[in-house]
Amino acid sequence: MSLDPNVIAGTILGGLISGFIGVLLEHLRIKNEARKKHFHDLKESCIRPLKNELTSILNSFIKFEESLVRSGIYREMLEREIKWWEDYSIKRRVGNPILFEDLGKHFKGLPERLREIEDFFRKNYPEFLKSVFELLRNIEDDERLKEISNEIDNSLRGPNVAIISDLPKAPFKAVFFLAVEYEKGSWPNVYRWLARFEGRSLIFQVGEEYRRSELAVKIRSLMKEAEHLIGSCLERLDRILHESKLEGSCDYVSGLLPWP
């Protein structure tokens, strides 16, 4: 009994197609696993460290510690021989530099935004530090506030006892926080003192005077600009961390199929 050539050809073709589909599915599986691993590596080695670094940069402009709001702290920073912000580079401070170079292939516009943040930081951070220092120095030289500070200091001292307290500095700090419009919840200790201080109307008056000063206006402007520029980038990084699919292609995930 002779076999039908069409049956033989169909059997062979079916086998070839089945084999090809099997190979194709295996390639797809490998490529899918490679994309998942690459996305995981990007998140852990670049995106999360990048988010931490940008948060740190942003906080350099918008966060003030109550205990560190003194002109001497900022003068010391300005006088350091090594001013780390002058040659600041996000790439050098974030994760894997090789993977860092790959970000633009998957997240359109992100490298450009990071360079914009770098330029903003290098250009404006020295001026920001200088403005904060000068504003604090002016406030600390204000005779009205010195008088209040001395009264607080004297009230803390007994006949033969000297009590070490940061309270005499509260008037200066309160005026600074009022001048830069720092939200009350971020300086609770000083604000608690201010709310109980009988002469608080004078503090608010002096704070308003400094709030209108050129230095305070410049500081607030840089704070808002940093929050707008860096904050929007942080929001995008958050979205990336919650995504499950990696867009775009690169050398890490291409070449696993006969076509890109």
Chain-centroid distance of CA 187 in Å reads 21
| pLDDT for res 5 | 60
Residue 239 to residues 48, 182, 190: CA-CA distances in angstroms? 12, 28, 37
Per-residue confidence of the chain (260 residues) as pLDDT tens digits? 455 565 555 555 555 555 556 555 555 555 667 778 888 889 998 999 999 999 999 999 999 999 999 999 999 999 998 888 888 999 988 877 888 888 888 899 999 999 999 999 999 999 999 999 999 999 999 999 999 999 998 887 755 444 557 899 999 999 999 999 999 999 999 999 999 999 999 999 999 999 999 999 999 999 999 999 999 999 999 999 998 888 877 766 665 444 44
| pLDDT for res 257 | 45
| pLDDT for res 260 | 41
| pLDDT for res 96 | 79
Residue with tokens 């996305």: 39
Residue 49 to residues 53, 55, 72, 117: CA-CA distances in angstroms? 6, 10, 31, 16
The pairs formed by 24-32 with CB atoms below 8 angstroms and a separation of 24 or more are 27/256, 27/257, 27/258, 28/257, 30/256, 31/253, 31/256, 31/257
What is the chain's percent helix, strand, coil content, to nearest 5?
Answer: 75, 0, 25
What is the C-alpha to C-alpha distance for residues 92 and 96, in angstroms, rounded to an integer?
9
| pLDDT for res 32 | 66
- Kindly list the domain boundaries of the chain, sorted by start residue: 5-242
